Structure 1
Amino acid sequence: MDTGGKRADKIAVMTLTLFPVRLLLAAFMMLLAWPFALAASLGPAERDPEQPLALWRKVVDFLLVAIMRTMWFIGGFHRVAVKGRQALPTEAAIFTLAPHSSYFDAIPVTMTMSSIVMKAESRNIPIWGTLIKYIRPVFVSRSDQDSRRKTVEEIKRRVQSNGKWPQIMIFPEGTCTNRTCLITFKPGAFIPGVPVQPVVLRYPNKLDTITWTWQGPGALEILWLTLCQFHNQVEIEFLPVYSPSEEEKKDPALYARNVRSVMAEALGVSVTDYTFEDCQLALAEGQLRLPADTCLLEFARLVRSLGLKPEKLEKDLDRYAESARMKRGGKMSVSEFAAYLGVPVSDTLADMFSLFDESGSSEMDPREYVVALSVVCRPAQTLDTMQLAFKMYGSQEDGSIDEDALSSILKTALGVAELTVTDLFQAIDQEEKGKITFADFDRFAEMYPDFAKEYLYPDQLPFESCAQTPPAPTPNGFCADFSPENSDAGRKPVRKKLD
């Protein structure tokens, strides 16, 4: 019998024997921990912890750590290897943990009883919400638009308490990855400008059933496969405390990059300047799935580098579009482009400008910038982007465009240098008028939702096939096109959209 068949048989046996026992015992341990956590978490959550800790709270801490450790043991984590020394709260009030690849990353949280930053909705989950409240997390509310600022202020308040509050464990990547590289760290943990202790995680299992990313097996499948494994391994390494320089205190992004470099070196992996938002862009489920050679990822990186936030720019799309439409195809120089965006001329701006400088004439069409920005801001909303493009490129009489305009729009929307749209244009232009309106395009897209795959790149695989096989352990998700082989930590060479 082949290896795959043996593995399937083993999973089948474990599913009927080990899995239900482990699941029931793990649930029992959570229920056992619940009354202790409930009693200890009564009272205002924002109240400062007493110092020194009362004896009863020390006992509860000990019991909860023991119960949680027993739960992980039941789940197959028989030995948790710990390297290095955990810093005292007065030495480092923040732990930065990476790579973040699984909900099993909760193991170091339960071992240290550190606070974490998490969604406010989590507090309402039965039993689990009570256990979470016990570690006094910093809650982030999606419904509160000012929540991000409040979260940073609360973190600052706690880390400046001289050790009164529990240490805060933060996952600066902001999302789960497959551990082949470290993506861009978010600055939240580094804004307070206090020393942090980097903590790295390793899961040296022969078969990776741990990794849970937004692409690949779902949470329940990961839980099932892991509980079917007789033995699971995890290594937690506490690296030396990192104290920021004066320059790093003033620049949280620099501080984050330097800490990431230290952690990457300890892990033996490289770093990539791409973010989770970039991968969301690449794999967005719109009708215009981005091809593998798109330069829109580079464009998105440059947008962020200019200090422009896509989530805020989305509100200004109509204003940018109207301004571009008024130029009626007129070109801009780099200084005019800077004024258009409201930013100073810089090397980063010049890099972005060159993406749209089709002929090397030092001029660009602002309509292309608006189309590219629309894709980055709302990658899954293909028709919204196309409607905006038709408004800018369409004739004054009926808003129609010709084949050349459609070619320019789609090349920009896909971030490619070459694209043949003749077949698509003729399929939409049933009456052979030589022009089409957005209503024509909309009707065609509704009838043929897979038109891009059929007419634009029928022989080219988009990002859905980008998960190349990296070195063991084999990851379950996170687009491999963002791995170190395809992007370095420094400044990337700029590729023109059109040559």
Structure 2
Amino acid sequence: QIAIMTLTLFPIRLLFAAFMMLLAWPFAFVASLGSDGKEPEQPLALWRKKVVDLLLKAIMRTMWFAGGFHRVAVKGRQALPTEATILTLAPHSSYFDAIPVTMTMSSIVMKAESRDIPIWGTLIKYIRPVFVSRSDQDSRRKTVEEIKRRAQSNGKWPQCLLFLESVCILHMCYKEWGPCAFIPGVPVQPVVLRYPNKLDTITWTWQGPRALEILWLTLCQFHNQVEIEFLPVYHPSEEEKRNPALYASNVRRVMAEALGVSITDYTFEDCQLALAEGQLRLPSDTCLLEFARLVRGLGLKPEKLEKDLDKYAENTKLKKGEKIDLLEFAAYLEVPVSDTLEGMFSLFDESGSGKMDLREYVVALSVVCRPSKTLDTIQLAFKMYASPDDGCISEEDLSCILKTALGVAELPVTDLFSAI
């Protein structure tokens, strides 16, 4: 089928899609006149929005129809901007997730470089997106402030359709996502997306087919299915308004129930940690994934902590193996005592004595920060555990280092120590 469709229907669909984008460009260009190309300060004039929206929606729907999306099933009702200024869409698992964007003409968050793409950039600028600049270290804060400004405009701006990041694994479970869409504390409308094709060529997966291959395989299917379901507007409680992470978690639960999938608090980075190539592979029963989750739960960023690992090791070495309690651990991390901190502390307090060795924390943190650099972690550990007299370590210390680096409870090292 792929061979036949590649020679017949695929080139026709591709050319027609390109033609429809060219047809849409002048309307978007005229409607966007007067924009300086930077972050827009005002929404489009109402007459432009009404007329051009109608034309562009018709053109884009024709383009998707030609691409095999003959019927887009819509369930529920899209809320008015005065009812919900933010639409939260998940799972974000395909390049074809642009379909609900073209159907609603809602604003989205896009990288700033997208506006410079010929033709496509003009279409992007028309929907008044919130641009994110990777070169601007303050971009995340500005993005949140802009979303908040639009969300509190009483419906003057078009709705913001936010793709929730890091949310789906093979359509089977939801991963943790950031609270960016929930910081404004305004009502949101959850939107769930499904691609019920018998043969799934649409979904992008890590280390799977690339973008052009997905486009090719999908356009080679005679019929592609997509379902968009608008769930009831979610009104946050006062507690959720004060706690965006709680707000995000509760909305995620509602969307997961609608899709019939489970929830997990692990992230894409945890998958990378479990699959990292190195001299030591993490076992399936490792507790380091739980440790990594708790590190993020404390608001600590492994990517920022990596550069300070040597400093942590030097400070820890000065303690000469002296164990600390929970309050001292909280002071060391400069975080308040919480359930998350107690959970992390218990990982290193195996005996239940209320004491932990800070060196074990630094070793575990090194593995999480640089999972593929096992030798760097071992060298860091030897630096902390080595005797100040001869620079050697004991069998007990070797066992502790390897147990912590692998995240396991027991690890016999007698034969290894004797061989060394």
Verify same fold: TM over 0.5. yes
Match of 1:356 in 2: 348
- Separation in 1, partners of 2:17, 2:237: 44
Aligned twin of 2:27: 36
Q: Tell me, in whole angstroms, the C-alpha distance in 2 between the residues paired with 1:420 and 1:73.
A: 63
Unaligned runs of 5+ in 1: 1-9, 427-431, 435-499
Cα 1:35–1:391 shift into 2, 3 Å = farther
1:281 equivalent in alignment to 2:266? no
Q: CA 1:19/1:401 → structure 2, altered by over 3 Å: closer, same or farther?
A: farther
Tell me which of 36, 40, 53 is aligned to 1:46.
40
In 2, Cα distance between equivalents of 1:288 and 1:219? 33
Q: CA 1:406 to 1:140, structure 2 compared with 1: closer, same or farther past 3 Å?
A: farther
Structure 1 vs Structure 2: percent identity of aligned residues?
81
CA shift for structure 1 position 321: 1.5
- Counterpart CA distance in 2 for 1:121 and 1:318 is 36
Are 1:15 and 2:6 matched, yes or no?
A: yes
Q: Distance in 2 between matches of 1:147 and 1:338?
A: 30
1:236 to 220, 228, 235: 228
Q: 1:68 and 1:381, CA in 2 relative to 1: closer, same or farther beyond 3 A?
A: farther
Q: Are residues 1:27 and 2:21 paired?
A: no
Alignment partner of 1:141 is 2:153: no
Three-state SS of the structure 2 residue aligned to 1:96 is strand
* Residue 236 of structure 1, CA deviation: 0.4
How many residues are treated as equivalent by the alignment?
417
| Contact 1:100–1:177 under 8 Å retained in 2 | no
Q: Any conservation in 1 of the 2:91–2:167 contact (CA below 8 Å)?
A: no
Match of 2:110 among 115, 118, 126: 118
Q: Counterparts of 1:79 and 1:334 in 2: how far apart (Å)?
A: 58
Amino acid at match of 2:91: P
State the 1:330 CA deviation: 2.4
Which of residues 245, 248, 265 in structure 1 aligns to 2:240? 248
Unaligned stretches of 5+ residues in structure 2? none
> Hey, what does 1:377 align to over in structure 2?
369
Q: Does 1:313 align with 2:305?
A: yes
- CA distance change for structure 1 residues 335 and 169 in 2, over 3 Å: closer, same or farther? same
Contact 1:173 1:182 in 2 (8 A): no
| Aligned match for 1:220, one of 212, 228, 232 | 212
CA 343–19 in structure 1, closer or farther in 2 if over 3 Å, else same: same
User: For 1:434-453, what aligned pairs fall within 5 Å after superposition?
Assistant: 434=420
Determine the C-alpha separation between the residues in 2 that align with 1:118 and 1:246. 30
* Equivalent position of 2:62 in the other structure: 70
Residues 166, 267 of structure 2: 8 Å contact kept: no
User: Structure 1 residue 249: deviation in Å?
Assistant: 0.6
Cα deviations across residues 43-62 of structure 1 (Å, max 9, x unaligned)?
A: 134230245x12x4433222
The code of the aligned residue for 2:87 comes to F
Structure-to-structure mapping, 1:98-497, within 5 angstroms: 98-174=90-166, 177-396=169-388, 399=391, 401=393, 404-419=396-411, 434=420
What amino acid does structure 2 have at the position aligned with 1:236? I
Distance of aligned partners of 1:245 and 1:228 in 2 relative to their CA distance in 1, 3 Å threshold: same
Deviating 4+ runs (over 4 angstroms)? 397-404, 420-426
What is the RMSD computed on CA atoms of the aligned residues?
A: 2.3
**What is the identity, as a one-letter code, of the residue corresponding to 2:53?**
D
TM-score of the aligned structures, taking structure 2 as reference length: 0.92
- Structure-1-length-normalised TM-score: 0.78
Residue type of the alignment partner of 1:80: V
Deviation at 1:288, TM superposition (A): 3.4
Distance 1:400 1:218 in 2: 49
Distance 1:424 1:19, change over 3 A: farther
CA contact (8 A) 1:176 1:214 kept: no
CA deviation after TM superposition for structure 1 residue 400, in Å: 5.0
The code of the aligned residue for 2:338 comes to: S
C-alpha displacement of 1:149: 0.7
Cα distance change, pair 248–423 in 1 and its aligned pair in 2 (3 A):
same
